[in-house]
Amino acid sequence: MSNRDYWSELEPLLAQVEKPSRYIGGEYGSIHKDKVEVRICLSYPDLYELGASNLGLAILYGRLNELDYVAAERVYAPERDLEVLLREKEIPLLTLESRAPVNTMDLLGFTLQYELVYTNVLKVLDLSGIPLLAADRGEDDPIVIAGGPSAMNPEPVAEFFDLVFIGEAEDGVVSVADLLRKWKSDGKPGGRAAFLVEAAQIPGVYVPSLYVPKYGEDGAYRGVEALEGAPDTVLRQAVASLEGRKSQIPWIVPFVEAVHDRAVVELFRGCARGCRFCQAGIIYRPVRERPKKEVLEMVGESLAATGYGELSLASLCTSDYTEIREVLEGVRATAGNDLTLSLPSMRVDTFGIELAVLASPGKKGGLTLAPEAGSQRMRDIINKNVTEEDVLSAVQAAFESGWDRIKLYFMIGLPGETEEDVEAIVDLAQKILAVGKSIKGGNSGRLKIVVNVSTLVPKSHTPFQWAKQLAPEEVLEKQAMLKSRLRSRQIDFKWHEMAVSVLEGVMARADRRMSKAILAAYRKGCEFDAWSNRLNWDLWSESLSECGVDIDRMLGERDIGQPLPWDHISSGVTKEFLVSEWQRSKSGESTPDCRFDECSLCGVCQDLPLETRLASD
């Protein structure tokens, strides 16, 4: 190992890069430990200001640092300017806390929030001097683990990771850390290979090297074979209850302005609305609400601990929290009116607007609503359970309450979509503008409707996992139609770049052969693919074709009977349920919210030791 003091070499160079405070650590709330038995580095493989706002990683950082024998540290993906300097001076990537080379850690954990970070994972490994392929790693390299929503289909990145954690990891990471501690203190018996077999026994831990994928002569994926010592299926882990879990406090307060520069209190996990495109709606089931008393305690504690003047009450659908009104009143009573309160993901109805008014009694910035589809037929297909009347009465209430800028989220490429369904987005936007004009009268000049249209990317573990994704030219056609029809001074049309959705879609349902293409793309210089201005589609399509990845096939519809690359990863929701939802979507049948209606028998509460927990119970 080198005796160079890398930090002393690096620190003076930071004056030459943009936003150098991304790289210096020492933030208020960060945790520094000296003598520990297990050193873990957590990484969000994108720029610091994105990663610093991630709640999941913050929870794990807090949880691991509660253990006296563990030091959990952090590293993010450096911007290109620093990368050039690191390569030129031969300085490896350092952790923010101890400023030790990342490759001296025992465990390196990545959160995969979306597929488009995969090349950045390789960038972090590469700059750390860690072999990119798990098979090439030696006894002294860190064990590299992944988690997060995209890990639910771990196959496209299976060759890069020694371990993948499936589900909520706040208890599982402790088991992994315990095992590492024991294995190290025993003198690493059996080496790395033995450790991996032991780790495979921890519930939720998937060890890709213990599963061999099979392919047919026609190149079709034919499932995996689990080697000895590996379970046939890896079951998603989830905490039974949020009660008594406040582990993300203390919270790190970044020096750099983070994308979500505010305190966050998680209201609940899971969502039972059952939108058929939504992966989060499946992989965080069931709904588990934090008791109201603890929510309010955490609000007070997190504001006092961070000094933020803004707070977000986070969840998949914040207005669904059963005692949301009481929470909002409680927050105002504790924190006063100077606090800026943000409620992400509000439902589209007058109740949602009522809450938005409660959240920001004085100021009215922008309001965001997600009808997801323009026509009722499409909203039934995706099980949105929102009518046009709900949408129009919600915007009416919003305009009456003082908002004049409304942002709407829609998707194109939903299964069974016709031209009329896409045109219905235009019609709905115009109806909303008309409602605004009738309410604002002479003051309607300030009205602005922002129509934000993304493209459906079918995700693993959802009822739409079999669906066809729009081909590149179809995306462009539909976007062009919307562009030409949404020409109004008061309607802004924004769309997701075609290449971003296509690449995300190609990776989302890929099998293990995709690892080669990701590696090839990284070698050609692809990075920061989630940034539409940085995604290099030419290099990507070269890499895909060189590695034999057929884009049309990857975006195409799947047969219900064909093996899927993530079949050995179980979310707890049964395939029968997903098939039935896929079929019901085709006939436009809705499935009710199981919190208040009948159980939809998705399998989670039947097969996992979990049940819905509401704050009002």
Partner 1 sequence: MSSKYRVRYEKAPAIRMLAHLEVARVLERACRRSGLPVAMSQGFRPHQKITFATNLPVGVASEVEYADIALVGEMSTDSIRDRLVDALPEGMLVSAVAALPPGTAALQSQDISSTFQLYSAPEEAVQTLEGIQSADVIQIIRKKGTKDLESPGRFLKNIQAVSGGNNSASSASIQVELVTSATGGGLGIKDLLAVIREMPGGSGVWAKRVGLSILSNEGRKDPLDV
Q: Which residues bind partner 1 (CB under 8 A)?
A: 8, 11-12, 14-15, 19-21, 23-24, 26-28, 253, 255-257, 303-309, 338, 340, 362-363
**Residue 14 Cβ vs partner 1, minimum distance, rounded to whole Å:** 5
Closest by CA position to 526, among listed 518, 146, 510: 518
Closest by CA position to 158, among listed 221, 251, 239, 82: 221
**Residue 417 Cβ vs partner 1, minimum distance, rounded to whole Å:** 41
Q: Are 449 and 491 in contact (CB under 8 A)?
A: yes
**Residue 212 Cβ vs partner 1, minimum distance, rounded to whole Å:** 48
Q: Choose between 8 and 587: whose C-beta lies nearer to partner 1.
A: 8
Residue with tokens 């976007």: 479
**Residue 9 Cβ vs partner 1, minimum distance, rounded to whole Å:** 10
**Residue 100 Cβ vs partner 1, minimum distance, rounded to whole Å:** 17
Task: Give the Cα separation of 365 and 354 in Å (integer).
Answer: 15
Residue 176: partners with Cβ closer than 8 Å, 6 or more residues away: 107, 145, 163, 165, 199, 202, 205
Q: Choose between 328 and 335: whose C-beta lies nearer to partner 1.
A: 335
Q: Choose between 29 and 231: whose C-beta lies nearer to partner 1.
A: 29
**Sign of torsion, CA 509 510 515 518?**
negative
**Residue 356 Cβ vs partner 1, minimum distance, rounded to whole Å:** 17
Q: Choose between 16 and 201: whose C-beta lies nearer to partner 1.
A: 16
Residue 298: partners with Cβ closer than 8 Å, 6 or more residues away: 246, 249, 265, 290
Q: Choose between 98 and 113: whose C-beta lies nearer to partner 1.
A: 98
Q: Choose between 27 and 159: whose C-beta lies nearer to partner 1.
A: 27
Task: Give the Cα separation of 400 and 30 in Å (integer).
Answer: 44
Task: Give the Cα separation of 4 and 105 in Å (integer).
Answer: 17
Residue with tokens 């991304």: 22
Q: Choose between 5 and 419: whose C-beta lies nearer to partner 1.
A: 5
Q: Are 306 and 263 in contact (CB under 8 A)?
A: yes
Closest by CA position to 195, among listed 213, 179, 174, 210: 179
**Sign of torsion, CA 151 154 160 163?**
positive
Task: Give the Cα separation of 379 and 371 in Å (integer).
Answer: 8
**For residue 416, which phi and psi values (nearest 5 degrees)?**
80, 10
**Residue 545 Cβ vs partner 1, minimum distance, rounded to whole Å:** 42
**Residue 402 Cβ vs partner 1, minimum distance, rounded to whole Å:** 12
Quote the radius of gyration of the chain (alpha carbons, Å): 24
**How many other CB atoms sit within 10 Å of the CB of residue 72?**
28
**Residue 261 Cβ vs partner 1, minimum distance, rounded to whole Å:** 8
